[in-house]
Structure 1
Amino acid sequence: MSYCEGVLGQSSERKVKGCFNQTLPFSFDPTEAMLRHSPQGTSLRKRSWPTAITGDFKAFTLTTQTMSVLYCIGTAVAAIAIVVKVGFALARAPNDLAVEASFLLLSSTSLGIASIIATVLSFEFVSLINYHGEASRVSAKYGHQFLGMTWAAVALVLFSSITSGVFAIVGRGQSGPRFSLEEAKAPGEGEPE
C-alpha cells in the first residue's frame, strides 16, 4: 500500500528516491502522484504522459479500493481467530472449534476474493498499461512475490478453517464423557451374592 518514486537509468537501472504510504481504501493514481511530487509548473503534457493510462487507473479505482478493504477484513478476522484460540488456551476452557472455523472461513473467503482481484489486476491491468503506454515508453510489471504471498496466505487460512471444521464435526460425535454400563451401576447393585 505504498508507491515509490525514482529514476530509471539508461540500462534499466532503478534509483529509488523515496516511498510514500497510503491510507485505506487504497487506490493508486499515477497522474496525481506525479503532479504531487513534480516541481511547480510541470505538466503531464511536457512529460508525454498518455492520458489513456490516467483513464485506466480511474476506471480501476473502485476495484483496487475493494481489494484493499478485503485484504484488511481477511487479516483482521484471522487475527480475531488467533486471539480467540489463545483466549481459550489461556482460560483452559474447551476449545470452540466451530467458532474458530467460522472466523477462519470468513477470513479465507475475504482473502481469496482479494487475491483473485489482485491476480486479475496483475495480468490484465498490467497488459493494458503496457499497451497504452508503449508509444510513451511507460510500462508496468506485476510482482511475482506478491502473488505468491497472497495465494500462500489464502491456502494457509483455508487449510486452517477446513481443519478446524473437521475437528469440530468429529468432536461433536464424541462429545461428553463415555461410561460403560458397569461403571453406571451403583456399588453392589446387580451383582449376585
Structure 2
Amino acid sequence: MFKNIVPEDSILKYDVELDVNVSLFNQAGNTKIIETIGEQGLLYLELQSGQFLNEIFVEPDNVFSDIIYGKKSLIYSFYNSSGNETISLSLSSAKDTHNAYSKIKAHSTDLEWRQYFIKQAMIKPGINKIQISDPVIRELMTVDQVADYLQLKKKTIQNWTSNDKIPYCHIGGTVRYRKLEIDRVLDSKKR
C-alpha cells in the first residue's frame, strides 16, 4: 500500500504491511503514540474505513501533518522536521460524518482543502480553529467533484450522465463537466 508514497531509498522501520486486528484507539476513540522516527523521519497512520481524526495534538511543535486517501480510508502523515528523534501524537478519531474521505478524494490536488481538515483537527494552545473552507470549484470537474459540488451521490451523477440529464463533454477520453453549463441547467429548472 505505502510503496506508492514512500521513496524507494527510504529506510523502513517496518518492511512489511502490518495486518492489525486490534485498533490503536480505545473505545472513546483516543490514542497516544510515542514513536522514534528520527530526525526528518516520516510516520504514516492509516485509519479504519469510515474514520477520520477530529483532534490532533503533536509534540514537538515542528511536526508537519498531511492527509491523503487510500483505497478505502484516510492516511495521515507526520513529518518530523525537529532535532528530536521521537514524536508524540495524541489523537482522537471519530466517524467520518463530514465525508472527509470523499471530499479529499474528489479534490486530491487541492492542498488547501486537505490542510483544512488537518487544521480543523489540530490542537495548539492559544490558536483558534479556522473557519470552514470550501474546495476550489474548477471550471472543468470530474464526476466526484460534481457530486460534491451538487451535494449528491456519485452514482446519481453517473445515472444523470447516462440519461443525458446533465451536460457533459469528453476530454482526452474521460467525461468532464463544465460548471457554467451545470449552473445554467440548474438556473433554468428554478424558473
Between structures 1 and 2, the one with greater helix share: 1
- State whether TM-score is above 0.5: no
TM-score per shorter chain, which class? Answer: under 0.3
